Amino acid sequence: MPMPPTRLHRIARHTAACTALVILSTTALAAPEVSLNPPSGAASAAADPVSRFLLEKGLVGPVSEAIVPASNAFVERMRDKASDMVLTALNFLGVPYRRGGNSAAHGFDCSGFTRQVFETSLGLLLPRRADEQAHAPGLVAVQRSDLQPGDLVFFNTLRRTFSHVGIYLGDGKFIHAPRPGGEVRVEDMRFSYWARRFTGARRAEPALEQAAADEAAAPPSTLKAVQAVR
């Protein structure tokens, strides 16, 4: 008789199924937001946090990416912050849904999940409820056509605006804590259910800029100490 799947097995299957979409998310993260000089060659995908994570887990092989000029270091730091958010969110795949939950140990509801990811990756403490997060200071509204990995995406699932929230990954996919009996998972926003219920998106642009600026202004000794801790 086959053994029932354990939670680790479910997470492993879910992670494998998401590999392709994460690769596409990596492409979105690497896409330039400003005009850059033509690439002079190719670099290892290990330079990108998302690709490095996949490489370390043995889920993908090396992927080529454009070399970004050093003059765009600030832009790269902002991308790294967004990458950190995506990686943090993916680390919670398979955590069970729990109404009012806000930790991996006990489970998440939708807003508890996004709150945990933002606090862990950006140090930004969001309000507790989804509708409050949609109106939180420090977040800016984003058009659906301009979505980037790390953006909050909101849906009307309870007959009220901003009643559900998740985190955009790229390529039309988002990660969220769906409902009682479910677990943190990735879904496609283009499916009719989510497409009809999409009500807006928010980006922590000021927080990302401030985090990148703080990192750039930190003394070299401080940066070395932080890297040593990591």
The secondary structure of the chain as a DSSP string is -PPPPPHHHHHHHHHHHHHHHHHHHHHHHHS-SS--PPP-SEE-GGGSHHHHHHHHTTSS----EEPPPGGGHHHHHHHHHHHHHHHHHHTTTTPBB-TT-EETTTEE-HHHHHHHHHHHHH-----SSHHHHHT-TT-EEE-GGG--TT-EEEE-SSSSTT-EEEEEEETTEEEE--STT-BSEEEETTSHHHHHHEEEEEE-HHHHHHHHHHHHHS-HHHHHHHHHH-
Candidates 9, 18, 106, 110; catalytic one: 110
Q: Quick one: tokens of 184?
A: 């943190």
Residue with tokens 């896409």: 31
Candidates 14, 18, 135, 164; catalytic one: 164
Is 110 annotated as catalytic? yes
Q: Quick one: tokens of 98?
A: 């729990």
* Residue numbers annotated as active site: 110, 164, 176
